[in-house]
Amino acid sequence: MRIFDFSAAYARKFLNATVVSMLLLTACFQYSLGQSPEYFKTGGRKVNIHAFNAEVNRMMEEVGIPGISLAVIENNKVAFYHTYGYKQSGQPEAVNDETLFEACSLSKNFMLFMVYQLVDQHKLDLDKPMYQYLEYDRLKHDPRYRLITPRMILGHCSGIENWKSDFNPDTLDIVSNPGEKFVYSGEGFHYLARVIETILKEPYQDIEKRMVLSRLGLERTFTSFKDTVPGNYSNGHDVLERKIPKWKNKSVFPAGGVNTTALDYAHLLIGMFNGKYLSRDRINDILHKTTSLDDYFPPNHYFGGGYEVIYTPKDTIIAHGGSNPGYKCQLFYSVVHKRGIIFMTNSDRGKLISQRLVDMSVRLDIKSEFAKQYYEQYPSNAITLLKKYKQAGGDAMIADAGRLKSEQKLGVNTLNELGHIFIGIDTAVARKLLTENTILYPDASRAFYLLGTLDMKQKDFNAAYQDFIKAKALHSEEFTLDFNLRKCEKELQKQAVYSGSSSGAASND
């Protein structure tokens, strides 16, 4: 039985040319677990729904998130499901319990559920080279592809680049030896999808519908916009709350093309770990320390068989994020306590409230998740400064940043975060912010790396090269640093050759 409780309206401001006040309608859908509709229970605590919703709405207004779909799991049951905000910023249509959000990279977990069923059925071997199931023309140019196994794909250590367009757009590259280190790869999941089709001799979309959607009763999950045109979907938004055209994939895109709700995804996650659908051996495969993440997180973070796994002294937590243009998703789930949270947003800023949402609800120990990230979690000065930009423009934001500097309240990544954002919005503002940060924190590498990225965007490859060299000297851990250095070197060589040939032509005249 569902208990519906429509909470009071909350004010929400949408910033366009002027500030327009609109009512923020929220609708609470709480599953009956012997709980009062005034609160939900998690970790032995009662969480007041009214106060929880009020805080979520306040964060949405501060950060600039138009809509959210959120579910809390307790003892492998949905304890709380709630939707917030609007499908599109500045428009009156509210998000409700059936509104779809892009699952982004959480789409991969639907395949995961299929894969482990096939392993339990002895139809797929996680350690058998995938070419023995299906030769893959896109990777045949590199003999190392014959070493790649399904386990490597699930643990993101196959070496296959994330997308073909990342480095050399003409070739799908293997950028590290298979099994050697973490390289996140959407392309790897698409290869594995082709293997699954080959094993079962039917289209991937039909397999997913039969083995996942129908089996778990996921009625608001769609794999494409080809045969069925799902209605009631949210629109994505950039960092300034500007609408991004909706991606309506006409074919199945296993690594990131699912549209769903937090409620449906919660049921997928429960099905993954409740022991009804997958054997204990498969759950152990998920938790297996397949790939070290020491370059990205503090110790005890690994990528297991489909999820990031965080090992703490008292818990084992799985995590996964998702990022599509205009959408951000995040989940955290305690395997020990059978407790977790999933939320989906229609904003490029959606992940910034992750820590606060966890603290307000399931209280899992996830602080190490954000230790090396340069986007600061809510609340932060970067969030406040960006809000000032949306309200009053770049000069007002710069002025406030100057005040914070004088008060010694600018953290090492505050201006980095803003600089990274403004590389795609206003390059003059981005350069001012990042240059200031190199002065404030001359021994930190990230501002130099981001300046190099900005210089590359403006095709000043000499300046970019110098910035990247400085970042490397300061022990930058940016994954694309060496690639960017090589690209700058090639571009500078081209310019030298062109300059030399032009000089020769001039002298011959």
The pLDDT assigned to 508 comes to 54
Instruction: Please report where in the chains the tokens 């789409």 appear, as a residue.
Output: 107
Domain boundaries, the chain: 2-109+213-370, 381-501
Would you give the end-to-end CA distance of the chain in angstroms? Answer: 88
The pLDDT assigned to 348 comes to 98
Which CATH number, 3.40.50.620, 3.40.50.300, 3.40.1390.10, 1.25.40.10, labels domain 381-501?
1.25.40.10
User: What are the b/e assignments for 464-476, b being 16+ CB within 10 Å?
Assistant: bbbbbebbbebeb
Residues 6 or more apart in contact with residue 219 via CB below 8 angstroms: 264
The pLDDT assigned to 497 comes to 81
- Strand spans (E) along 205-354: 236-237, 243-244, 259-260, 291-292, 301-303, 308-312, 315-324, 327-334, 339-345
The pLDDT assigned to 17 comes to 34
How many angstroms separate the CA atoms of 386 and 64, rounded?
9
- Strand spans (E) along 100-203: 101-102
Q: Give which of 402, 336, 415, 339 is closest to 375, Cα–Cα.
A: 415
185 and 161 Cβ atoms separated by less than 8 Å: yes
Residues of the chain with pLDDT under 70: 1-36, 500-509
Question: pLDDT digit string (tens) for 243-302?
Answer: 999 999 999 999 999 999 999 999 999 999 999 999 999 999 999 999 999 888 989 999
How many angstroms separate the CA atoms of 102 and 224, rounded?
11
The pLDDT assigned to 296 comes to 87
Instruction: Please report where in the chains the tokens 């590259």 appear, as a residue.
Output: 173
Within 10 angstroms of residue 423's Cβ, the number of other Cβ atoms is 20
The pLDDT assigned to 424 comes to 93
Residues 6 or more apart in contact with residue 494 via CB below 8 angstroms: none
CATH fold label, 2-109+213-370: Beta-lactamase (3.40.710)
Instruction: Please report where in the chains the tokens 């639907």 appear, as a residue.
Output: 110
Q: Give which of 227, 223, 213, 329 is closest to 264, Cα–Cα.
A: 213
Strand partners, 176: none
